[in-house]
Amino acid sequence: MTGIQHSESKSASLLRPWLDSPYATRLAEDREFALSLSKPLGCANPTFVLVEGEPRSKSRPTHQDNSKQNRQNAELRFQLQNSFPIPLTGNLAVACIFYRSSRKRIDIDNLFKEVFDAANGIAWHDDMQVTACTGMLKLDATYPRVAVLIGNVASSLDRAETVMKCQFCGKPFHFDRCDSGRRKFCSRICQSTSRRKLFSGIPPIRRYG
């Protein structure tokens, strides 16, 4: 499984390694289709990523062999890292086109979960930034693939982020404006450790009677 990525601001030279690939002939078509899907959402500055291979849904944790899904998730993350050097901030819109090789029944929401899981921490800081999404499930028995388009979007539910400094470890972290006043630590580990350190210096309460 390999991938093709393209951004509005990136040079066409990024596509040269895939010019001989059968997927390259579908790149422009898939990109235009994804743009048409995202247009009603008001998506701005979109980045397009095309990943070869069978789209697989996000499965529940089991003891079964999920090697195929793990490989797809790793490939998705690898291609997203190539397109997003740093995570995007603010409100985002996502458009996905899933090309399956068979008519086997599958829930499109589980396919979205796989993309969101791969993009979290790479294309964006947190899933809550995605306030608009659209998608389509299609059939292509010859060349199964996943087309993903991510861009900024305006929303009354402001997800603009700011950077704070953890009161325990000093590490900078991103948080939603709506959480201001509640987020003082970068993680629950720092929060619980800080509390244990605070209460460790308090003498135990003596009980009489």
The more confident residue out of 50 and 171 is 50
Residue 131's nearest CA partner among 172, 161, 92 is: 92
Instruction: Give the DSSP H or E segment for 98.
Output: strand 92-100
Q: What is the mean pLDDT of the chain?
A: 79
Report pLDDT for 114. Answer: 92
Instruction: Give the DSSP H or E segment for 31.
Output: helix 24-38
Across the range 71-93, mean pLDDT stands at 90
The more confident residue out of 166 and 101 is 101
- Quote the CA–CA distance of 5 and 31 in Å, as a whole number: 10
- Quote the CA–CA distance of 150 and 159 in Å, as a whole number: 15
For the chain, list the domains and their CATH numbers.
3-152 (3.30.1330.70), 161-200 (no CATH)
Q: Mind listing the pLDDT tens digit for each residue in 6-17?
A: 544 343 334 444
Across the range 167-171, mean pLDDT stands at 82
> 3-class DSSP state for residue 70?
helix
What are the backbone dihedrals phi and psi of residue 139, each rounded to the nearest 5 degrees, phi first? -110, 130
Within 13 Å, how many C-alpha atoms sit on residue 24's CB side?
10
Is residue 205 classed exposed, middle or buried when 0-12, 13-18 and 19+ CB atoms within 10 A define those classes?
A: exposed
Report pLDDT for 132. Answer: 95
Q: Mind listing the pLDDT tens digit for each residue in 98-149?
A: 999 999 999 999 999 999 999 999 999 888 899 999 999 999 999 999 999 9
Contact assessment for residue 114 and residue 76, using Cβ atoms and an 8 Å cutoff: yes
Report pLDDT for 201. Answer: 61
- Quote the CA–CA distance of 33 and 19 in Å, as a whole number: 20
pTM beyond 0.75, yes or no: no
